[in-house]
Structure 1
């Protein structure tokens, strides 16, 4: 009987011997050691997308985010700035806020009632000596940046220094969509039964997009294809794309909207890709006929036919900005084989559900697509967990998967070399 068991190999050796152009070896996706390393080397050292500003509309509003052993409080302070703090009381370390979201006047630890302002300062602690210096015991801050209505944090003492440059390059693309004036239409959390890297890899290619019939009503199924690689079955769609792209560029230029692709996925610490391009059908939104899902546009656009502005950010997020709404996706590792995918739909703050938009119509395409992707990721996890699994080659259309994996392995190598 043939067996497939391989000799045990250390984590550092597996990282060092990663073969470009091939999927990762099984322990990267299945082992607790790699999961812990991913939190330490990637999620605790990179800039992470964690929320839209619209999730914190008023002073005192907060959201908590859990990343491995870390819990972080995001909240809007009295000056309406977004801040982030470790969710750890400075007295004896108790978890302060348990709920995923809410609103506070002050932040009060439920254990001994130490009380903090929304700026993190310790305001009150009972029965302490007169010479106790409260200024030394504020909540520990987490690096926070907002970019055109998106909130990013970094847990590292010294975050990657390239974020300012990345923010300056992507903000002109995103800002016209007015996310700071948006509100949350809905947010859906989905737990996928697979490793977080499988979730990200699945997002970085459209080789599998034939499994997304709802999405293919509006998304051209040729994403990632070079012209010479387009198969005959996709040639009609590719020709439609070329025509729509030419028409869209004229529109983008007339409105002063940047659209050219910038792709630096694995050449910097804060890897990203951004591009504005057309949608199929009516070309307005992610719906079953491509028409706008919300009658009130996100901004003062003169036409809803703006296609999609798509942004990919390493290691945990992707976004679609449309004329009528925006969708954010964040990925949070839960376990070696479990991953949270949080999807948030944003509409204009004055848009009224049932009048300007139907929530089911707004969310139908991506709810179905997320559910389909969850099944695909689970199947991938099951297969990789088999002793018969061996790394396989990436298709040319999966070049962004290779870029993601190369970025990831580069982060691990840098961390292990410390």
Structure 2
């Protein structure tokens, strides 16, 4: 008996599952009574049903940061990424592009690539040896005599991809938000001079924070807590987020240094033709973002105890070490620091409603030599310490959000970017439910 195995092409779209009606009703009510200027109610951080809705409505529909091309420099190089119910392969192609594929074998759902990173030719599932090309096409599957298989119907499912100045973003939706393509030309001129294509990974750190992904992002979006970051405060002005009229007395001297350093940085940027104006559209568009070039304290060069450079090699086409940091925030899961001597990328990767993987990657010039041009411990010290401190802050908040005594608290003026993130999230989830 001969037969052909086929599937309708309409079934090739990834399915994130079903959020129960009672969860949607609860979420709708919580969103409708969202209190502007206050933190969100406890279930947003603790409820597994709302987490599942987040995975569908945010991470299943919007552009998310997955990796940089420095992590996959050669054809066949890949990283795998798991978040919520999703599993992805981010693969460098022979022509220098990037494919993002669902890491789900089309036979019986096994993981095709089981390592977190590596290099591969054709991708072979370890279960029954179904074999896929770099674009996900099924090129081999063992069949019995007389058994036919329509290989075109069983390619790995693909996701949308955009490469922005060497940063790889993906969207799982069939029709991704179009305004991300409007954002790309706004941010690329800021990042391009640092040239990620000419960098390499010096170090990558993975920390699991016992906190909801939204708490991780809220913590990142303010410096009201920066007194808790003594190592970072040596170079990052702790007045970040403040403005004239909001400076507490104990930070007035720091604010004065910040103002002078900002003037000097802008003069230097103008001299070199570097963009430095603040563009802030965190909750006024679907692809919310903020980008700027900001001064650093001390020598103004890098994240060190003195503000001096941490690598002897300048990046890309830059001609000066004293260029502060180019700071980029993107909703919903990433932030970046582009300096003259290195780059730091951050991704918040949800695991479940109370755990988030925070991945930090340090990039240096590809010809920089460890031990000669940079010391790895010095390069990573400030953000390793800061990440551990932020982990503790997030975990304190997660414990509080789970308590029956938890009530919403007001955001301070310096926490306006937290309010913008929550407002962005609220808008997107209302649209998702609708």
Question: TM-score normalised to the size of structure 2?
Answer: 0.93
Shifted more, 83-92 versus 278-287: the winner is: 83-92
Aligned to 1:17: 33
Query: What is the aligned counterpart of 1:89 among 105, 112, 116?
Result: 105
Query: What is the aligned counterpart of 1:305 among 300, 307, 322?
Result: 322
Output the CA distance in 2 between the equivalents of 1:337 and 1:76: 32
Output the CA distance in 2 between the equivalents of 1:166 and 1:150: 13
Query: What is the aligned counterpart of 1:60 among 63, 71, 76?
Result: 76
* CA displacement, residues 205-255 of structure 1 (integer Å, 9 cap, x when unaligned): 000000000000000111111211111111111111111111111110111
Report SS of the residue matched to 1:175: helix
Aligned to 1:4: none
Aligned to 2:275: 258
Residue 192 of structure 1 pairs with residue 247 of structure 2: no
Aligned to 1:397: 414
* CA displacement, residues 182-205 of structure 1 (integer Å, 9 cap, x when unaligned): 100000000111111111000000
Aligned to 1:43: 59
Residue 228 of structure 1 pairs with residue 228 of structure 2: no
Aligned to 2:345: 328
Unaligned runs of 5+ in 2: 1-22
Output the CA distance in 2 between the equivalents of 1:139 and 1:340: 25
Output the CA distance in 1 between the equivalents of 2:132 and 2:433: 37
Unaligned runs of 5+ in 1: 1-7
Aligned to 2:94: 78
Output the CA distance in 2 between the equivalents of 1:36 and 1:131: 38
Aligned to 2:8: none
* CA displacement, residues 42-76 of structure 1 (integer Å, 9 cap, x when unaligned): 11111000101111011111111112111010001
Report SS of the residue matched to 2:245: helix
Shifted more, 44-53 versus 136-145: the winner is: 136-145
Aligned to 1:137: 154
Give 1:280 shift: 0.3
Output the CA distance in 2 between the equivalents of 1:169 and 1:137: 38
Give 1:87 shift: 0.7
Aligned to 1:349: 366
Give 1:364 shift: 0.3
Aligned to 1:171: 188
Output the CA distance in 2 between the equivalents of 1:304 and 1:246: 16
Give 1:130 shift: 7.6
Question: TM-score normalised to the size of structure 1?
Answer: 0.96
Aligned to 1:289: 306
Runs of at least 4 residues off by over 3 Å: 128-133
Give 1:78 shift: 1.2
Output the CA distance in 1 between the equivalents of 2:60 and 2:83: 8
Say what the alpha-carbon RMSD is for the aligned residues: 1.3
Shifted more, 312-321 versus 104-113: the winner is: 104-113
Output the CA distance in 2 between the equivalents of 1:71 and 1:338: 17
Report SS of the residue matched to 1:207: coil
Residue 214 of structure 1 pairs with residue 231 of structure 2: yes
* CA displacement, residues 240-276 of structure 1 (integer Å, 9 cap, x when unaligned): 1111111111110111100000000001111000000
Residue 105 of structure 1 pairs with residue 121 of structure 2: yes
* CA displacement, residues 317-338 of structure 1 (integer Å, 9 cap, x when unaligned): 0000000000000001112111
* CA displacement, residues 329-356 of structure 1 (integer Å, 9 cap, x when unaligned): 0001112111110000000111110110
Report SS of the residue matched to 1:33: helix
Aligned to 2:6: none
Report SS of the residue matched to 1:342: strand
Residue 373 of structure 1 pairs with residue 390 of structure 2: yes
Report SS of the residue matched to 1:164: helix
Output the CA distance in 1 between the equivalents of 2:318 and 2:188: 17
Output the CA distance in 2 between the equivalents of 1:300 and 1:163: 26
